[in-house]
Amino acid sequence: MFPTALPTPPDLGGSIVVRAPERPDPGYWAGCPSIRYEADRDRFLLTYRERRPRGLDGGAGGGRDRGWRCAVAESTDGVEFRDLWSVERAELDSPSMERFALLRRDGSYLLYLSYVDPADNRWRIDVVRADSPDAFDLATRTPVLTAAGTGTEGVKDPYLLEHDGAVQLFATVSRARAFSPEERAAAHADADIHTTGLTVQPSALAVSPDGLRFTAPAGRGSEVLDVGAGWDAYESRITAVLPDGRGGWLALYDGSADAGGNYEERCGLAVSTDLRDWRRLDEDGPWLGVRYADVVAARGSWYLYYEQTRADGAHELRVAVLDEFAGLRP
- What 8-state DSSP symbol labels residue 222? G
List of residues 6+ apart from 22 with CB closer than 8 A:
28, 30, 50, 52
Whole-number average pLDDT of the chain? 95
The whole-number pLDDT of residue 1 equals 44
pLDDT, one tens digit per residue, over 3-39 is 557 899 999 999 999 999 999 999 999 999 999 999 9
pLDDT, one tens digit per residue, over 67-83 is 999 999 999 999 999 99
* Rounded Cα–Cα distance for residues 122 and 301 (Å): 39
Count of C-beta atoms within a 10 Å radius of residue 164:
7
Report the sign of the C-alpha dihedral through residues 228, 325, 299, 274, in that order: negative
> Which amino acid is it at 97?
M
% pLDDT > 90, the chain: 93
For the whole model, what pTM was predicted?
0.96
- Share of the chain residues as helix, strand and coil, in percent rounded to the nearest 5: 10, 45, 45
Measure the CA angle with vertex 167, ends 290 and 238; round to 5°: 20
List of residues 6+ apart from 52 with CB closer than 8 A:
22, 27, 28, 64, 65, 66, 68
Phi, psi at residue 318, to the nearest 5°? -130, 165
* 248: three-class secondary structure by DSSP: coil
* 158: three-class secondary structure by DSSP: strand
Contact 263, 273 (CB under 8 A): no
The whole-number pLDDT of residue 5 equals 77
Phi, psi at residue 139, to the nearest 5°? -65, -20
Residue among 270, 265, 268, 272 at smallest CA distance from 307:
265
- What 8-state DSSP symbol labels residue 322? E
- What mean pLDDT is predicted for residues 173-191? 96
The whole-number pLDDT of residue 4 equals 59
Pairing of strands 249-256, 123-130: unpaired
Report the sign of the C-alpha dihedral through residues 235, 176, 205, 87, in that order: negative
